[in-house]
Structure 1
């Protein structure tokens, strides 16, 4: 008989540049003409052809048991139409192909900013309560084919997470 799964709730905190710094960057609007600096997305896209596209996600809810990382590039995500959304993250630990469950956090991302995930940051999401949300996504053209490592907490810990 298979062990039963548990559901663990994670409270999402409102994202800030400070509380997200272990996972990536939060990018807000800046004045046109501002010079490039550390507040701009620090991108790593030199291992392939960058791909910038809009992905439409529907009925995502707020539960997950899989988490993914990309070890070759950064990834930028932001919602269109000012819609808020949620993401769960764990810091990069590329020497081990398993996220550090004790360092998992969840964030609420308002529709007036986007995030840049550091190379190797584990992430689950975007999640949301809207019927659908269009997201812009910047990664490499083959990220989801050759640089997509997924860990199942359902298999390793018999747990599913619910973002609240």
Structure 2
């Protein structure tokens, strides 16, 4: 029997502080000298050694069938060179699979970054450029010991495509 995979369109919306709250924080520029407050990234990096690095991604497109979460730390992502990018997210939960009804794709301008809450399901970054460099703040072993992935293709015969 041939397995048929459905491609489901996921509408893309502009990110705002309010609409991103279920998934994390949108961090935008602030004036130098401002004191630390709730608009700064509220980080949880207590479970290991923080790792801050630049990752280069090439030709990512807009389709995905895997989504990942990290349950030991927050994660920050932002593009370099002011390039726009996209991410699909579902809120943290206690299940071993994301809540598809709350899956949302966001358009993120290149003048800000996001902080994902501990346990936020995420697919991406995605973009329309040939390549984009991203700064990434997580733990040094996040991708080894704290990387749980759910495969929509295997479990649900489903692939998502981020729409314009």
> Shorter-chain-normalised TM-score: which range?
over 0.9
Whole-angstrom CA distance in 1 between matches of 2:132 and 2:85? 9
Unaligned runs of 5+ in 1: none
Match of 2:78 in 1: 78
Say which SS state the counterpart of residue 18 (structure 1) adopts.
helix
Match of 2:34 in 1: 34
Match of 2:122 in 1: 123
Match of 2:140 in 1: 141
Q: Please report how far the alpha carbon of residue 155 of structure 1 lies from its aligned counterpart in structure 2 after TM superposition.
A: 1.0
1:18-39 deviation line (CA, Å, top 9, x unaligned): 0000000000010001000000
Q: Please report how far the alpha carbon of residue 127 of structure 1 lies from its aligned counterpart in structure 2 after TM superposition.
A: 0.2
Structure 1 runs, 4 residues or longer, greater than 4 Å off: none
Whole-angstrom CA distance in 1 between matches of 2:56 and 2:68? 19
1:87-131 deviation line (CA, Å, top 9, x unaligned): 0000001x2111011110000000010000000000000000100
Match of 1:7 in 2: 7
Match of 1:60 in 2: 60
1:7-62 deviation line (CA, Å, top 9, x unaligned): 00011100000000000000001000100000000000000000000000000000
The Cα RMSD (Å) is 0.5
Matched, 1:158 2:154: no
In the superposition, the TM-score normalised over structure 1's length comes to: 0.98
Whole-angstrom CA distance in 2 between matches of 1:2 and 1:37? 54
Whole-angstrom CA distance in 2 between matches of 1:13 and 1:107? 5
Unaligned runs of 5+ in 2: none
Q: Please report how far the alpha carbon of residue 2 of structure 1 lies from its aligned counterpart in structure 2 after TM superposition.
A: 3.5
Q: Please report how far the alpha carbon of residue 3 of structure 1 lies from its aligned counterpart in structure 2 after TM superposition.
A: 2.5
